[in-house]
Amino acid sequence: MSELEGSAGTILLPSGLAAVSVPLMAFLSAGDHCLVVDSVYYPTRRFCDGTLSRLGVEVEYFDPHIGEGIAGLMRPETKVVFIEAPGSNTFEIMDVRAVSDAAHACGAVTMMDNTWATPLFFRPLDHGVDLSIHALTKYPGGHSDVMMGSVSANNATYGRLRDTQMQIGVNAAPDDTYLVLRGLKTMGIRLERHRDSALALAQWLEGREDVADVLHPALPSFPGHALWRRQFSGASGLFAFRLKGEARTAASFLDALRLFGLGYSWGGHESLAVPVDLSDRTIAKSSGDGALIRLQVGLEDVIDLKADLEAGFAAANTL
């Protein structure tokens, strides 16, 4: 992971959420201010609003489109800026370099959840980020049979990160590490299939009358597409679309699926679908009407996945 990320060192942890919480604890203390993108992974928000707040850290959420404007939110006590790109579930793209430069100008450390792109499609440290976070549970593991996280850090931050890990005593198990090493051997070719199949389905969904819009950064119609092209070298298999209708329509759609399982932990070989709840957001609520559904496109044949989605649309349209 250090070689893939171009980092000074990497720590391994037993889950993706542990890979989020340990670096936050490493660089934040009581009285500090932490800026977090509003489109962050919900368990990250829960940790920030729960544990960090209880420890006396003030957490403030910001618009994922803020760019260099984040300088206006920085304070003397701001110690961490935490970003995720694309944004969780709604896939907003941010200018990573601009945010990192503004944070560094004020003495803050930047951290990025890079699980969606993996280091094959984006290397945060090359864009000014100090620490790159991964849920290795997802694409590096690749087989839905292991949980692990990693944090890859630059020279300025690795020592403190590693010391904090050793003080807490949270480490990854050797057998789990073996499974992730197994997955890394095929991650490149798997990601190519995830990328191509997901984009084919996104383009197909975009042409359907029963779909309000498709949230996939690689689509030219996506609001942040140009910024995505400038920074990323590829797209993974996770995206979302807005189904015309209400929650009841989405439930009928999801119940009719057979190849797409209902599950949250994406990145394996199987396709998954889940309804998206944005009620935790304060800023990045995503505009538009309809029920938001997130798809993880696995390694099955696209023609079979289309047929499964067609069955879902047929069920939704009977209401």
The predicted structure's pLDDT at residue 246: 87
**Residue 288 confidence (pLDDT) above 80:** no
**Residue 251 confidence (pLDDT) above 80:** yes
The predicted structure's pLDDT at residue 291: 94
Give span(s): CATH 3.40.640.10, the chain.
Answer: 2-177
pLDDT tens string 46-64:
999 999 999 999 999 999 9
| Amino acid present at 287 | S
pLDDT tens string 175-212:
999 999 999 999 999 999 999 999 999 999 999 999 99
**Residue 260 confidence (pLDDT) above 90:** yes
CATH of 187-316, one of 3.40.30.10, 3.20.20.70, 3.90.1150.10, 3.40.50.2000: 3.90.1150.10
Residues 6 or more apart in contact with residue 176 via CB below 8 angstroms: 14, 146, 147, 148
> In 237-267, which positions are buried (b, 16+ CB within 10 angstroms) versus exposed (e)?
bbbbbbbbbeeebbbbbbebbebbeeeeebb
The predicted structure's pLDDT at residue 284: 83
Give span(s): CATH 3.90.1150.10, the chain.
Answer: 187-316
The predicted structure's pLDDT at residue 143: 95
**Residue 158 confidence (pLDDT) above 80:** yes
* Mean pLDDT (the chain, rounded): 96
Average pLDDT over residues 110-114: 98
Tokens read off for 241: 């679309």
CA angle at 286 for the pair 220 and 99, rounded to the nearest 5°: 75
In the CATH scheme, what is the code of domain 2-177?
Answer: 3.40.640.10
What are the distances in angstroms from CA 240 to CA 199, 213, 217, 243, 297?
A: 11, 9, 10, 10, 10
The predicted structure's pLDDT at residue 159: 98
Decide: 260 and 297 in contact? Cβ < 8 Å: no
Full DSSP string of 278-294 = -TT-SS----SSSEEEE
Q: What are phi and psi of 118, to 5 degrees?
A: 60, 165
